[in-house]
Amino acid sequence: MTDTSSSAAESLHLKFCGLSLTSPIVLLSGCVGFGEEYTRIEGFSNRDAGAVVLKGTTLAARLGNPAHRVSETAAGMLNAIGLQNPGTANVIERILPELDFSETRFIANVSGSTVEEYAEVTRLFDDSPIDAIEINISCPNVKEGGVAFGNYPDMSAQVVEACRRVTGKPLITKLSPNQTDIRENARRCIEAGTDGLAVINTVMGMAIDANTRRPVIGNIQGGLSGPAIKPIALLKVHQVYEVARKHGIPIIGQGGITTATDAIEFLIAGASAVGIGTALFYDPMVCKRVNAGIAQYLREHGIGSVTELTGTLRI
């Protein structure tokens, strides 16, 4: 590696929730399986990402929702997979030992239908090699009639508090855009003990087959991701940053990132790292391009580290 390329690589290094990342890119939960899906593609490497978030995991195995579970939209994708996964014990005992932790940081994604389930899954991952834990608070609370934990600050805080009590690993809370005041939710999650925030989860939407007059998604509604939600996500990152910076809490900005320019915009808005998900489905090599583009931007603007970009929006 030449001095120039070495310097470019070093400019992308950062600390996030105490973890050393070689790139600001985080591969998002649900888009890379359990860290092995894209390794079958020639040229793909987990080393191109600073961290990989594993598929959402519940205490017991789940089969997920009925078909259809994915539908392409004009500028993105609707999905309602339904948290299909083999259960926490299988992930810890069979999947984690197969991952190469020298390549990147691996983050578990914890999901549940009760506060108690969130806490138990977190406790089990605490006694594993996983580097950090992301809390998916967009799950429905079965004890409260199916309302999403993440749409109500009180319930969000309860989940974070329960998980915080059972782990010393970094906790990252994934915030939903489908709520009244994301800033208040962020504040409550920070007070409850989260170490970082992921902003945002998918935006709820639906698709209809005009010929059959039926919903395209078997679950009727699904999460919209991809370029269509980028303006929404940028605003939410900016709003959450207003709260998070006061407490020194870093943000993973995500939602429709497909280019280096997209990633840079999220960093400027207040993100410390950036999540890439839907873009991987049609461009598995997107991380290489985004890393190279960010490094070039830093060189052109005389910026020594990607960390210097965070929260530099001029208003």
One digit per residue, the tens of pLDDT, for the chain of length 315 reads 455 577 888 999 999 999 999 999 999 999 999 988 888 888 888 899 999 999 999 999 999 999 999 999 999 999 999 999 999 999 999 999 999 999 999 999 999 999 999 999 999 999 999 999 999 998 877 788 777 899 999 999 999 999 999 999 999 999 999 999 999 999 999 999 999 999 999 999 999 999 999 999 999 999 999 999 999 999 999 999 999 999 999 999 999 999 999 999 999 999 999 999 999 999 999 999 999 999 999 999 999 999 999 999 999
In the chain, % helix, strand, coil (3-state, to 5) comes to 40, 20, 40
Q: Specify if 213 maps to a domain.
A: no
Total domains in the chain come to 1
- HEC string of 147-195? EEHHHCHHHHHHHHHHHHHCCCCCEEEEECCCCCCHHHHHHHHHHHCCC
Q: Structural domain of residue 62, as residue ranges? A: 3-67+81-206+223-309
Residue 73 lies in a domain: no
13: domain CATH number? 3.20.20.70
Report yes or no on 113 lying in a domain: yes
Q: Let me know if residue 291 belongs to a domain.
A: yes
Query: How many beta carbons lie within 10 A of that of residue 246, not counting itself?
Result: 10
Q: What is the DSSP string of 47-107?
A: GGSSEEEEEEE-SS-B--PPSP-EEEETTEEEE-----B--HHHIIIIIGGGS-TTTSEEE
Catalytic residue among 31, 139, 189, 287: 139
**Residue 211 domain-assigned (yes or no):** no
- In this structure, is residue 215 part of a structural domain? no
Is 189 among the catalytic positions? no
Q: Would you say residue 156 lies in a domain?
A: yes
**In this structure, is residue 236 part of a structural domain?**
yes
CA torsion sign for 305, 29, 125, 172 is positive
pTM above 0.85, yes or no: yes
